[in-house]
Amino acid sequence: MTLEIITADCLAPLRHGFFTRRGGASSGIFHGLNCGHGSSDQSEIVSINRARVASAMEVEPSHLVSVHQVHSPDVVTLTAPFSEKPKVDAMVTATPGLALGVLSADCQPVLFADTKAGVIGAAHAGWKGTQAGVLEATLDAMEGLGADRARICAVIGPSISQRAYEVGPEFMEDFLLDDPDSDRFFAGGEGDRVQFDLPGYGLARLRAAGVGDAEWTGHCTYSDPARFFSYRRATHAGEADYGRLIAAIRL
């Protein structure tokens, strides 16, 4: 099966994509394109999957770079592949030939580009990292390489949608303490539960930070098991682990 790659017009003509689970070599609960070495999938199979992504990005596998994601606001600037993965959640570069890859399975994968300046970025933005400022930190780091945030396009890829993201009242209270206007990202659920709009929150943070163009591809990871891995869906199904999707961009 061939790879399925979701792209965004505003990131063109740069080679980029939000890869679905289709076209991979993994089997069982990881069936498809599992690109997470942090999963319990066979390491050699994950490497095969990542090599397929690297080929689609037209780079050597060693130049498809990713980080040890820890739900932080921290960003690293790259000029060459890592010798050891740093514990951060975003990367930026102005070096051609590097494909920046972030993993997700409900959290937001976000790809950034200022095509005029030749600066790109990629961020893993779950609720914790988004609240802590990982998106704004990525924009700051891109500007450090000569980008202009008014020219930057930021695209949020497949993520868990509001209708599938039920949380407790204490979750909402934490957001309201941080910003009382955050109530617009919550809708009523069953009983005292509420539903959180993670992509809507991410878009609002990006736009408030002055990004030139911000959009979400509109794909819900939880609701489409044939195309996407989902941590929450795997948890609800009682599965022991889950696959990781990859999003990547290169100059």
Q: Measuring CA to CA, which residue among 91, 120, 149 is closest to residue 16? A: 120
What is the rounded average pLDDT of the residues 18-35? 97
- Answer for the pair 44, 33: CB distance below 8 angstroms, yes or no: no
**Which H, E and C letters describe 150-178, residue by residue?**
CCCEEEECCECCHHHCEECHHHHHHHHHH
Is-above-0.85 flag for pTM? yes
Residue % of the chain over a pLDDT of 70: 100
User: What are the pLDDT digits (tens) for 139-162?
Assistant: 999 999 999 999 999 999 999 999
Q: Where along the chain do its domains lie? A: 5-161+197-250
Flag whether pLDDT at 190 surpasses 90.
no
Q: Measuring CA to CA, which residue among 63, 49, 48 is closest to residue 100? A: 63
Phi–psi pair at 140, nearest 5 degrees: -60, -45
CB atoms within 10 A of CB 78: 17
- Answer for the pair 216, 156: CB distance below 8 angstroms, yes or no: yes
pLDDT for res 188: 87
User: What are the pLDDT digits (tens) for 66-115?
Assistant: 999 999 999 999 999 998 999 999 999 999 999 999 999 999 999 999 99
Overall CATH class of domain 5-161+197-250: alpha beta
pLDDT for res 40: 95
